[in-house]
Structure 1
Amino acid sequence: MDTPSSCIPLIVLDVQDAIDQPVWDGKNNPGYVSAIQSLLVHWRHNDWPVLHIKHDEPTPTSTYHTRGPWNAIKEDVAPEDGETVIIKQQNCAFIGTNLDAVLRSMGASCFVLSGVVIHNSMDATIRAGKAFGYDIVLPADATTAVPVTAKNGKRWDAATVYELTLAILDDEYADVTTSDEVIARYSKDRP
């Protein structure tokens, strides 16, 4: 991960108004948006690349439905002029999109991933990104989880889902860290 910071894009995944609808209630880590905002401020201040992944779900009952009322990227993390927005329709940001081509055109071998939710689109994107050969930095405070209920009715609370998913991903698939550590690591003032 010694790539220059200017070649390390920050990706903000699926942070849309949809995530605040009742079907997604019970999220842990309520400060995840603030952590993403801190990362965005740092990346924008340094003129580093920011990519936004927007989920356009074809299923009409989804809160992320393409023409649904909650499809917009949350205003708190909305793209600024010149920032790339990539549209996806699958849980993985690499499937059916040009994300890999965009990253390769930047010369990126690594990216910082933030967004929602850790055990769904984040997990799928991390695993695919690793399979494509990318090093992935995952600031744990810049993501969240929701409770999961199995078909047999067994339920896991969001904190358990979050902690277990991060533990599974750490080291083998991603470098799990914090937003503060990412900002310190990728600083122009760093010796």
Structure 2
Amino acid sequence: MPSDEIQGRTALLLIDIQNGFVNETLWGLSRSNPSFEKNAALILDTYRSLISSTGSATSSPHKIIHIAHASLFDDSPLHPKSPGYSFQSFAAPKPDELVISKGVNSAFIGTNLEEVLRSHFQNGNGKLFIIGLSTDHCVSTTTRMAGNLWVADARNEKGERGEHGEVILVQDATAAWKKTEDGFDAELVHKVHVESLREFASILNTENTENVVGLWKSWL
């Protein structure tokens, strides 16, 4: 992909795509968006191609950041000592890609993510793409905070908000689970939470390679 087709600085944030979420005993069989893995892998592969066409991981205006949930509970499949803490194979970070661990729903709490993004965007406006798990928990919380913190917006020397950037949620590269206690279907949970995030982010789809490539050309 020619670099002159891609303008500005962007980042791809992959949230909690870990093996612990494959635990059917804990999460159940009813999950939204059966195409989650395919779409997330496609976006990651396309983004890696974008980075390689615009420099190295350190010099490119595009950045990949993996978030891992490090549960504080010893019996959690997402505890750092559990095999479930590791990333799913299709989303495993490369050695030159940044990994940030968090202990709560928001990837901004107790981490340096905000600092990393502002530094990458060079205090200018950028575009932050968000994918991962789960739509109604860590994806939702992180998306809301990204919007509230204006992490993709430019800042002047006084720290005042300048030109607006964009937080973008790729809705079919996220997934949610059924709420068994109240019987809310997984797809309903997914759709309601995506709709509620429209006030904090732009919402995009990606269904195939052509759409993903078009996404970069249209939005970056």
Same fold (TM over 0.5): yes
- The separation in 1 between residues aligned to 2:8 and 2:43, in whole angstroms, is 14
- The separation in 1 between residues aligned to 2:48 and 2:15, in whole angstroms, is 17
Deviates more, 1:15-24 or 1:4-13: 4-13
Change (3 A) 1:5 1:158: farther
Equivalent residues of 1:139, 1:182 under 8 A apart: no
- The separation in 2 between residues aligned to 1:156 and 1:65, in whole angstroms, is 27
How many positions carry a matched residue from both structures?
182
Larger gyration radius, structure 1 or structure 2: 2
Matches within 5 A, 1:1-191: 5=7, 7-22=9-24, 23-25=26-28, 26-47=30-51, 48-107=62-121, 109-133=126-150, 134=152, 135-149=166-180, 153-170=181-198, 172-180=199-207, 181=211, 183-187=213-217
Aligned to 1:156, what secondary structure does the other structure show?
Answer: coil
The two structures, once aligned, show a CA RMSD in angstroms of: 1.8
Change (3 A) 1:56 1:136: same
Change (3 A) 1:68 1:84: same
Aligned to 2:117, what secondary structure does the other structure show?
Answer: helix
- The separation in 2 between residues aligned to 1:5 and 1:72, in whole angstroms, is 33
Offset, 1:28: 1.2
**5+ residue gaps, structure 2:** 1-5, 52-61, 153-165
- The separation in 2 between residues aligned to 1:51 and 1:104, in whole angstroms, is 13
- The separation in 1 between residues aligned to 2:128 and 2:213, in whole angstroms, is 13
Change (3 A) 1:154 1:185: closer
- The separation in 2 between residues aligned to 1:65 and 1:8, in whole angstroms, is 30
- The separation in 1 between residues aligned to 2:129 and 2:8, in whole angstroms, is 12
Change (3 A) 1:5 1:61: farther
- The separation in 1 between residues aligned to 2:193 and 2:95, in whole angstroms, is 34
Offset, 1:79: 0.6
- The separation in 2 between residues aligned to 1:5 and 1:42, in whole angstroms, is 16
Change (3 A) 1:36 1:5: farther
- The separation in 2 between residues aligned to 1:102 and 1:139, in whole angstroms, is 21
Spell out, residue by residue over 1:51-104, the C-alpha distance to the aligned partner (whole angstroms, 9 max, x if none). 100111111122211111211011111011211001111110000001001101
Aligned to 2:86, what secondary structure does the other structure show?
Answer: coil
**5+ residue gaps, structure 1:** none
Equivalent residues of 1:116, 1:144 under 8 A apart: yes
Give the letter for the 1:27 counterpart: R
Give the letter for the 1:16 counterpart: Q
Offset, 1:182: 5.1
Runs of at least 4 residues of structure 1 off by over 3 A?
180-183
Equivalent residues of 1:137, 1:174 under 8 A apart: yes
Equivalent residues of 2:8, 2:126 under 8 A apart: no
